[in-house]
């Protein structure tokens, strides 16, 4: 299971199994979405599978995730998402009403994200061979001229901005899946981020890196960017927006909010001269209202993410190995 | 949660640090007993902020780290059996046994489940009357009451299919063992606040007097730890060696009487092996004869276990505070969270894991990963 957790084991699986099998220059970039040159147009293309349990949770559902996840992967290349495909894998015995509910959620999320579900597929597997419903989506979108967003473009001096409070999706899922209550209703942050990205690009097309920190959380995403660009990242712990409910839950379970999944957040690396403008544009957008400047990209400690603690010490934020495990006491 | 900010206040922290700096005129070595404290110290960089003459030595208080190899191997064997649902706290799943871990058993088809409380395991037993449900009952005094309650409830509800694999350990005998070990440098202890919130402080005055060491009951937030250090240094400078409660908001001297009664009803004191350290007299609990029917070791007759620790691993010395994790030759090379040789590298509260995770500046890519830098942006 650790290989699906979005940490070092996931990266290893891709590097050791899939990249050698498929090897080509486009794939080697291994971004959230591939940017392809097709007849003069720059097309972003991405696919992802969604296997969340439970299918419905506070703030969203499998259907929302399946749309928003792929929309966001496209948006992280700066693309304007246009078309999606959906492939449903249904487990024999799953109630039709459940499938309908997921499908309606897909439709609603697609309308909210302003994308069209243009094609799809359905398969049924035997009872016991699935988890109710799995959904795979793929999507395409157009990358505007002059936009070149990828992890390798992080530069020392870049401002590191997160679009809002972290950890809500992961904690919301845990609260319903494990029957834990952490005081206060916690809803997933799942949301389509292409509109937010468009607002940021309107300030400057020269945004260097965008990433939606899903599995593995903010910590994993920043490590990937640091390693891809060969730069360091220095964060200020007190500037990172961690909601009380998330801090509470993580404290209880011995988890680090830095590694808890998000579904409606992005982290941006922006040239320092544009940081204020981009931050203001983000805060003016509904999906970026809680945006915060959390640190900067540095030439020191290349490939490593370091956080200045509230007390004035420092520590490394490493790439998590796999999924975090709740501790004993 | 308001208290998190309150106990992280930088201004207060620096006032405490100034006071520690002004008080400490000689070199002092303090041991924080609990792995949770070690984790907090390293995570917040407290050791970097202390004056050079105040050294923190990391203690054996990580229950995952000290669970002996033969018990891990027994857990692995039981978990692999058909018809068994093996329940554990999450952080035990990656702890290496002699040749595999619980994750591997799960991957090979064993029904291994992560639970957040032994009562969750009890509920699983209630809903699966045709299966044997085993809960891995490890930990210090903090987890013992809930585990005792679970087996007590199982008895009351007639859940014959529920049992505990017990490896409970007790802190005071460990302090005794550390103080009497050759080469011990510890001059004062920060006692684990959570343990004392259950057991109180009754066992400490005699220990403090006999070994002439201050024992300060300490919490887990940064300011708690700094206050504990301040009080310990204060005692040392004055030549005192008493028990002091710096965690009064959670700890009463008499402890939690109801929890202690529950432990006494279900468990009895026994000698225990501590991984990396060895046998410590009267340092653990086992189920009493009255609850023998719910003892997984008895029920599953797990015998003939042969264990083998990696020769290069120095986790035992780390656990006793004799060396820092970075002084072990295997640290960060042969031994990483990806390829842990000892439990101190795999547990979230282990000292080696804390150093590996938080202190590797200019670190190369993790061991075991051959991913070129430009290809590390792969998960989404």
Q: How far apart (Å, rounded) are the C-alpha atoms in residues A103 and A97?
A: 10
Q: Does A36 touch chain B (CB under 8 A)?
A: no
Among the partner residues A28, A312, A327, nearest to B375 by beta-carbon distance:
A28
Q: Is residue B16 part of a domain?
A: yes
Task: Report, as an integer, the average pLDDT of A171-179.
Answer: 83
From B239, B274, B303, the end of a domain falls on: B303
Q: Which of B303, B323, B343 is the last residue of a domain?
A: B303
- Alpha helix positions (H), chain B: 2-6, 10-23, 35-44, 46-49, 63-66, 69-79, 102-107, 118-127, 144-157, 171-180, 193-199, 204-211, 222-237, 257-266, 296-300, 315-319, 343-346, 351-358
The H or E element containing residue A202 is: helix A194-203
Min CA distance, A222 vs chain B (Å)?
9
Residue B1 falls inside a structural domain: no
pLDDT at A278: 98
Residues B251 and B337 in one domain: no
Contact between A311 and B92 using a beta-carbon 8 Å cutoff: no
pLDDT value, residue A215 = 87
Query: In terms of CA atoms, which chain A residue is nearest residue B222?
Result: A311
Residues B206 and B253 in one domain: yes
Co-location of B208 and B332 in the same domain: no
> HSE of B244 in the Cβ direction (CA atoms, 13 Å)?
23
ipTM, two decimals: 0.76
Q: Residue B152 domain-assigned? A: yes
Q: What are the φ/ψ torsions at residue B102 (nearest 5 degrees)? A: -65, -30
The minimum CA-CA distance between A39 and chain B, rounded to whole Å, is: 27
- State the pLDDT confidence band at A67, using cuts at 50, 70 and 90: very high
Contact assignment for A228 to B42 by CB distance below 8 Å: no
**Is A325–B114 a contact, with Cβ atoms under 8 angstroms apart?**
yes
Residues B297 and B322 in one domain: no
Closest residue in A to B339 (Cα) is A321
Cβ–Cβ contact A248 with B under 8 A: yes
Residue A5 is predicted with a pLDDT of 61
Do A315 and B94 count as a contact with CB atoms less than 8 A apart? no
- Name residues 284-323 of chain A within 8 A of B (Cβ): 301-304, 306, 309-316, 318-319, 321
- Same domain, residue pair B227 and B334: no
Q: Are residues B196 and B324 in the same domain?
A: no
Residues of chain A positioned with their CB less than 8 A from the CB of B33 = none
* Interchain proximity A321–B89, CB inside 8 Å: no
Asked, for residue B80, whether it belongs to a domain, the answer is yes
Q: Min CA distance, A23 vs chain B (Å)? A: 12
Q: B319 with B277: CB under 8 angstroms?
A: yes
In 3D space, the residue among B147, B246, B197, B190 whose CA is nearest the CA of residue B34 turns out to be B190
Question: How far does B350 lie from chain A, in Å, by closest CA?
Answer: 11
User: B132 and B241, same structural domain?
Assistant: yes
Query: What interhelical angle do A168-177 and A244-253 show, nearest 10?
Result: 60
Q: What is the mean pLDDT of residues A315-319?
A: 88
Split into its structural domains, chain B has a count of 2
pLDDT tens, A204-262?
Answer: 999 999 999 998 999 999 999 999 999 999 999 999 999 988 988 888 787 889 999 99
Residue of B nearest to A69 (CA): B380
* CA distances to A27, A125, A186, A304, B165 from A47, in Å: 13, 21, 28, 28, 44
Same domain, B264 and B340: no
Q: Is residue B299 located within the same domain as residue B318? A: no
Q: Are residues B222 and B109 in the same domain?
A: yes
CB B41 within 8 A of CB B192: no
What is the distance between the alpha carbons of residues A247 and A166, in angstroms, rounded to a whole number?
Answer: 10
What global pTM score does this model have? Answer: 0.84
pLDDT attached to residue A4: 61
| Residue B337: predicted pLDDT | 84
Same domain, B200 and B324: no
Measured between beta carbons, which residues in chain B are less than 8 angstroms from residue A152?
374, 377
Mean pLDDT confidence for A147-151:
95
Residues 6+ away with beta carbon under 8 Å from A172 = A57, A58, A59, A186, A187, A188
Task: Provide the pLDDT confidence category of residue A6 given band limits of 50, 70 and 90.
Answer: low
- Tell me how crowded residue B336 is: count the other CB atoms within 10 A of its CB: 23
Chain A residue with Cα closest to B139: A328
| CB-nearest partner of A315 from B1, B91, B359 | B359
pLDDT in tens, A98-138: 999 999 999 999 999 999 999 999 999 999 888 899 999 99
Residues B48 and B158 in one domain: yes
Chain A residues in contact with B373 (beta carbon < 8 A) = 227-228, 230, 303
Mean pLDDT by 10 residues, chain B (380 residues): 65 95 97 91 92 94 89 95 95 87 94 92 96 96 94 95 96 94 93 95 96 96 96 98 95 94 96 91 96 94 81 88 91 87 82 86 40 28
Range of the domain at B326: 314-356
Nearest to B373 among A12, A227, A321 (CB): A227
Q: Is A263 on the interface with B (CB under 8 A)?
A: no
Closest CB to B375 among A19, A150, A220: A19
Tell whether A26 is within 8 A of chain B (Cβ): no
Answer yes or no: is B366 within a domain: no
CA distance B141 to B199: 7
Parallel, antiparallel, or unpaired: how do β-strands A305-308 and A232-236 relate? parallel
Asked if residue B22 is part of any domain, the answer here is yes
A223, A302, A326 member nearest B114 (Cβ) = A326
What span, in angstroms and rounded, lies between the C-alpha atoms of A203 and B214?
Answer: 60
Smallest Cβ–Cβ distance between A31 and the set B13, B64, B377 belongs to: B377
pLDDT of residue B1: 41
For residue B17, the distance in angstroms to the closest alpha carbon of chain A comes to 10
Spell out which residues of chain B touch residue A13, defining contact as CB-CB under 8 Å.
Answer: none
The sign of the torsion formed by the CA atoms of B322, B326, B330, B335 equals positive
B308 domain-assigned:
no
pLDDT grade, residue A28 (50/70/90)?
A: low
Distance set, CA B145 to CA B149, B198, B201, B219, B271 (Å): 6, 8, 17, 20, 19
CATH number of residue B111's parent domain: 3.40.50.11740
Residue B17 lies in a domain: yes
């Amino acid at each position: 299971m650790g290989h699906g957790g979005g940490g070092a084991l996931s990266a290893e699986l891709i590097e050791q199994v899939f990249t050698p099998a498929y090897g080509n220059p486009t794939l080697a970039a291994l971004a959230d979405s591939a940017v392809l040159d097709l007849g003069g147009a720059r097309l972003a293309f991405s696919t992802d599978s969604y296997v969340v349990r439970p299918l419905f949770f506070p703030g969203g559902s499998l259907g929302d995730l399946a749309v928003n996840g792929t929309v966001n992967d496209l948006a992280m290349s700066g693309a304007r998402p246009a078309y999606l495909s959906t492939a449903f894998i249904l487990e024999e015995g799953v109630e039709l009403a459940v499938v309908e509910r997921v499908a309606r959620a897909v439709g609603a999320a697609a309308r909210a994200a302003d994308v069209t579900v243009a094609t799809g597929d359905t398969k049924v597997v035997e009872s016991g061979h699935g988890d109710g419903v799995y959904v795979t989506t793929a999507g395409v979108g157009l990358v505007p001229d002059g936009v070149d967003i990828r992890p390798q473009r992080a530069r020392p001096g870049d401002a590191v901005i997160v679009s809002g409070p972290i950890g809500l999706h992961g904690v919301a899922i845990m609260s319903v899946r494990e029957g834990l209550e952490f005081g206060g209703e916690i809803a997933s942050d799942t949301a389509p981020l292409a509109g937010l990205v468009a607002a940021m690009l309107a300030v400057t097309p020269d945004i260097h890196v965008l990433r939606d920190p899903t599995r593995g959380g903010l910590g994993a995403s920043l490590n990937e960017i640091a390693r891809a660009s060969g730069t360091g990242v220095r964060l200020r712990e007190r500037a990172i927006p961690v909601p009380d409910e998330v801090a509470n839950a993580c404290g209880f379970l011995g988890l680090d909010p830095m590694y808890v999944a998000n579904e409606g957040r992005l982290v941006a690396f922006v040239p320092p001269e544009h940081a204020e403008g981009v931050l203001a544009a983000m805060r003016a957008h509904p999906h970026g209202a809680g945006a915060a400047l959390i640190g900067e990209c540095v030439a020191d400690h290349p490939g490593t993410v370091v956080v200045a603690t509230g007390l004035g010490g420092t520590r490394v934020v490493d790439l998590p190995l796999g999924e975090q495990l709740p501790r004993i006491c | 949660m308001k208290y998190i900010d309150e106990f992280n206040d930088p201004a207060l922290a620096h006032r405490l640090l100034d006071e520690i700096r002004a008080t400490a005129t000689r070199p002092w070595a303090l041991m924080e007993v609990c792995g949770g404290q070690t984790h907090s110290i390293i995570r917040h960089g407290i050791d970097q902020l202390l004056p050079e003459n105040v050294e923190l030595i990391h203690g054996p208080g990580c229950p995952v780290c000290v669970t002996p190899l033969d018990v891990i191997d027994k857990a692995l064997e039981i978990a692999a059996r058909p018809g068994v649902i093996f329940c554990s706290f999450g952080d035990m799943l990656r702890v290496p046994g002699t040749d595999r871990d619980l994750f591997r058993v799960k991957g090979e088809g064993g029904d291994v489940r992560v639970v957040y409380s032994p009562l969750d395991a009890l509920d699983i037993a209630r809903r699966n009357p045709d299966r044997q449900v085993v809960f891995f009952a490890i930990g210090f005094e903090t987890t013992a009451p809930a585990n005792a309650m679970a087996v007590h409830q199982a008895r009351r509800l007639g859940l014959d299919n529920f049992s505990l694999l017990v490896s409970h350990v007790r802190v005071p005998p460990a302090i005794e063992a550390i103080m009497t070990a050759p080469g011990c440098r510890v001059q004062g202890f920060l006692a684990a606040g959570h343990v004392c919130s259950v057991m109180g402080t009754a066992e400490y005055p005699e220990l403090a007097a006999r070994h002439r060491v201050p024992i300060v009951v300490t919490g887990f937030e940064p300011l708690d730890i700094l206050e504990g250090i301040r009080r310990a240094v204060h005692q040392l400078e004055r030549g005192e060696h008493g028990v002091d409660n710096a965690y009064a908001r959670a700890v009463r001297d008499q402890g939690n009487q109801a929890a202690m009664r529950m432990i006494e009803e279900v468990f009895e004191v026994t000698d225990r092996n501590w991984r990396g350290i060895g046998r410590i007299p009267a340092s653990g609990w086992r189920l009493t004869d009255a609850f023998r029917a719910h003892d997984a070791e008895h029920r599953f007759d797990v015998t003939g276990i042969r264990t083998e620790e990696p020769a290069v691993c120095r986790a035992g010395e780390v656990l006793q505070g004799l060396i820092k994790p970075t002084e072990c030759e295997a640290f960060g090379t042969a031994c990483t969270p990806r390829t842990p040789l000892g439990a101190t590298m795999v547990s979230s509260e282990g000292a080696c894991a804390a150093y590996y995770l938080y202190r590797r500046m200019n670190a190369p890519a993790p061991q075991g990963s051959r991913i070129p830098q430009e290809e590390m942006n792969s998960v989404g």
